Structure 1
Amino acid sequence: MKTKKLINSGADAVDEMLQGVLSAHPNHLYAVDDMPRAIIAKNGPRKGKVGLVIGGGSGHEPTFLGFVGKGLADAAAIGNVFASPPPDPIIACAKAVDGGAGVLFMYGNYAGDVMNFDMAAEMLALDDIEARTVLTTDDVASAPPDQRHRRRGVAGNVFIFKAAGAACDLLYSFDDVERAARHANSRTYTMGVALSPCSLPQTLKPNFLIGEDEMEIGMGIHGEPGMAREPLKTANEVTDELMDSILREMKASRGDRVAVLVNSLGSTPMMELYIMMRRVKSRLDDAGLVVHTSLVGNYCTSLEMAGASVTVMHLDDDLQRLIDHPCDCAMFTR
């Protein structure tokens, strides 16, 4: 059975989406000439500032292009649905945002992205532009703690990119920007649950199968296998499973501060997200943790997948300053 989408053609969906985004946000964004997949912040890049380039596949909106703007990312390289951008738009992004202080690449830890961003960095070096990489690895479900370098980057991208973008905007040195980005990543934890599949615009067919009364804990944002497939439970029970894994690994002390994101994977409505947020807050209160800031909504989606994720960033003074720093992006303002 085919799914229904408001598109014209699966092959044209990404480029037509980008045209719509640029039409809607002309004060924030523009595309590099002859490179429509290289999206640049109008007010972000400047001389002497480390440039921040994020990127990855489409289908996760507002990640990545929604977080391009002053105080956050300077550019985003956009790939096909669930596919890495090729080197060309990555290189175009880097050249557009290079202020002479270096360019930091940040993206989720996926093999295709690593290969193409690394290739772009090698080619930029030939033009005397130094590009470094910090991978996001916040998905607790995708590898054990002693193999964190193997984990996927998911909704925690929002907080990690935010911290790195603030460091860039505050004119930190390249070394200090990289250090801040790695520190933010190391203190960010995400767990998700999927209730139903999504379908790619090109196929209009579900990308995995799951029973009507089932859920999958820890499923990835492209449909990668999770930790366990279980009978569907109540919102409190599901949230407890997610929070148990996060709190066990975070090892916070009473009185510590956190930033929280309750994120829809696409079709989960705000009502359900706030029911989950209620339980998240209760669990954090019980652990003696102080919620400094919270976000609820669509921040890192998987097309129309039903499900949600919870992200907790374990704050310290440096991270709190970076999370609180103002930003003005197409789809996110602080």
Structure 2
Amino acid sequence: MKKIMNKVEDIVPEMVSGMTKAYPDLIKQIDGTQAIIRNDENFKKNKIVGLVSGGGSGHEPLHAGFVGDGMLSAAVCGEIFTSPTPDQIYEAIKASDNGEGVLLIVKNYSGDVMNFDMAKEMADFDDIKVEQIIVDDDISVENSEYTQGKRGVAGTVLVEKILGAAARSDLNLTDLKALGEKVINQTHTIGIALSAATVPAVGHPGFELQNDEIEFGIGIHNERGYSVEKLRSSKEIAEELTSKIMDSFENNTSAKYSVLVNGMGATPLMEQYIFTNDVLDILKDKNFNVEYSKVGNLVTSIDMQGLSLTISKVDDQLINYLNEPVTTIGW
């Protein structure tokens, strides 16, 4: 294992410190925590609903890279692939509350759901209005090793982007929660891996694939997928993923869609664009109307080689929210 680091136990604190030192005009660290909060001049000036997310580190730029005007108010960075603790989430909730309440955006992993629930209960004692939504966009498998039900993966960033724009337009807490649940229900993701991630504390890949193998349906914590097969061409991979996702939408050609091609950490953008070209050609040939697309490393898995495809059903308002400019590190 080769990593650019100092001590394994210092990776997350030093990452948080490096981010906040590099972008002090955008973010700052909440004292005594590994939570990051907006530091721009508009944050306390605009009395809008606070948006808080977070989870285990190793998925950067998710979530900390999306803290800023137009997206998250705060993000809580747990240890690598490990949920942040309730007390740190609680501090992020308090710091994000401008009097309009706070919405928690939680990926569907058992530790995250439990700890965000506990933090919500702590905030309730302070009379802070808190609601939460659970992102479970991965349609690859049910009941993975970290979850009950579907996993929350790359679709999370689309939820954060849309809700950030909606919050900035003064939607209240109740309406934001309803909008978030609508987006989650209309967002489906499948990922693939050519090689697994190496957690620094472990020192070796989470699973092994042969040089001519690919795994379909992997998760962002090295969770296994639904099939290990011989490596295929980009077009063949795109055909499988688009077919499975569009089948889940009942092949509705009257709807509008957004497409997100997400790199898992070690896949060059060149390959992501090749795959995107194939996906968009396939969808066009099948008369699906793609109104928005984005490509890049947004929800990674340390150094996993692979990518994921997220397709969402959208309307004109959601497209406008996706296109709104934001001021963050990662978007």
TM-score normalised by length of structure 1: 0.94
In structure 1, runs of 5+ residues without a counterpart are none
Find the aligned partners of 1:13 and 1:161 in 2 and give their Cα distance: 25
User: In the alignment, what sits opposite 1:93?
Assistant: 92
Amino acid paired to 2:15: M
Deviation by residue 1:81-124 (Cα, 9 ceiling, x = unmatched) = 00000011111111111011111100210000011000000111
Corresponding residue for residue 69 of structure 1: 68
Shift of 1:175: 0.9
- Taking the TM superposition and a 5 Å limit, the aligned residue runs for 1:132-281 are 132-143=131-142, 150-254=149-253, 256-281=255-280
Which residue in 2 is equivalent to 1:26? Answer: 24
Check conservation: 1:45, 1:51, Cα contact below 8 A. no
Match of 2:310 in 1: 311
C-alpha offsets along residues 141-166 of structure 1, whole Å, 9 cap, x if unaligned? 0239xxx9821110111111111111
Measure how far apart 1:294 and its partner are. 1.5
Instruction: Please give the root-mean-square deviation of Cα atoms over the aligned residues, in Å.
Output: 1.6
Provide the rounded CA distance (Å) in 1 between the counterparts of 2:278 and 2:304: 22
Task: Assess if the C-alpha contact under 8 Å between 1:252 and 1:314 holds in 2.
Answer: no
2:51 matches 1:17 = no
- How far apart, in 1, do the equivalents of 2:162 and 2:90 lie? 23
CA–CA distance in 2 between the matches of 1:212 and 1:252?
34
Unaligned runs of 5+ in 2: none
| Contact 2:110–2:148 (8 Å) recurs in 1 | no
Provide Cα deviations, 1:174-206, integer angstroms capped at 9, x if missing partner.
111101111111111111101101111212211
Stretch deviating more after TM superposition (283-292 or 252-261): 252-261
Q: CA deviation at 1:45?
A: 3.8
Partner of 2:117: 118
Is the contact made by 1:70 and 1:327 (CA closer than 8 Å) also made in structure 2?
Answer: yes
Q: Deviations over 1:50-95 (max 9, x none)?
A: 1100100000001110111111110001100000000111111111
Offset of residue 255 of structure 1: 5.0
Distance of 1:231 and 1:91 partners within structure 2 = 46
Instruction: Return the alpha-carbon distance in structure 2 between the equivalents of residues 268 and 330 of structure 1.
Output: 20
Distance 1:263 1:302 in 2: 11
Whole-angstrom CA distance in 2 between matches of 1:174 and 1:246: 30
Give the 3-state SS of the residue equivalent to 1:140 in structure 2.
Answer: coil
Structure 1: which amino acid aligns with 2:161? K
SS at match of 2:218: coil
How many angstroms apart in 1 are the aligned matches of 2:135 and 2:148? 9
Write the distance in 2 (CA, Å) between the matches of 1:323 and 1:198.
Answer: 30
Gap change, CA 1:128 and 1:79, over 3 Å in 2: same
How many residues end up aligned between the 2 structures? 326
Letter in 1 for 2:70: G
Give the conservation status (yes or no) of the 8 Å contact 2:38–2:74.
yes
Q: What is the CA–CA distance in structure 1 between the aligned matches of 2:20 and 2:193, rounded to whole Å?
A: 31
* Contact 1:194–1:306 (Cα < 8 Å) also in 2: yes
Where 1:70 maps in the other structure, the secondary structure is: coil
CA distance in 1 between partners of 2:282 and 2:254 (Å): 14
